């Protein structure tokens, strides 16, 4: 078993979290690190070597604003 670290990177490029991974090999470590990606990039390291960097698919949407903009206004409501 090998030890890896998955670093969470904030929007300014600074590390704000670290998750220790113990895996059979590099491919398993990559799968586990990629699964950790939510809204921030993850960098996977083994000792002093960066193995991979995983970017989020998209930034976290402001869901409330998105839903508000899609909702019909009161003046468009046929029952109102």
Q: What residue spans define the domains of the chain?
A: 2-76
- For 23-79, how does the pLDDT look when each residue is reduced to its tens digit (9 = 90+)? 999 999 999 999 999 889 999 999 999 999 999 986 555 555 566 566 665 555 555
pLDDT score for 62: 53
Q: Is the pTM of this model over 0.95?
A: no
Contact (CB, 8 A) for 36 and 53: no
Contact (CB, 8 A) for 23 and 1: yes
Residue 18 has pLDDT above 80, yes or no: yes
Question: 28-57 burial, b for 16+ CB within 10 Å, e for fewer?
Answer: ebbebbeebbeebebbbbeeeeebeebeee
Residue 5 has pLDDT above 90, yes or no: yes
- For 64-75, how does the pLDDT look when each residue is reduced to its tens digit (9 = 90+)? 556 656 666 555
């Amino acid at each position: 078993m090998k030890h890896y670290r998955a670093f969470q990177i904030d929007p300014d490029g600074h590390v704000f979290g670290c998750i220790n991974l113990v895996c059979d090999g590099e491919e398993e470590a990559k799968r586990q690190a990629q699964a950790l990606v939510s809204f921030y990039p993850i960098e996977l390291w083994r000792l002093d070597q960066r193995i991979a960097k995983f970017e989020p698919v998209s930034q976290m949407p402001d869901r409330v604003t998105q839903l508000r903009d899609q909702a019909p206004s009161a003046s468009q409501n046929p029952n109102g």
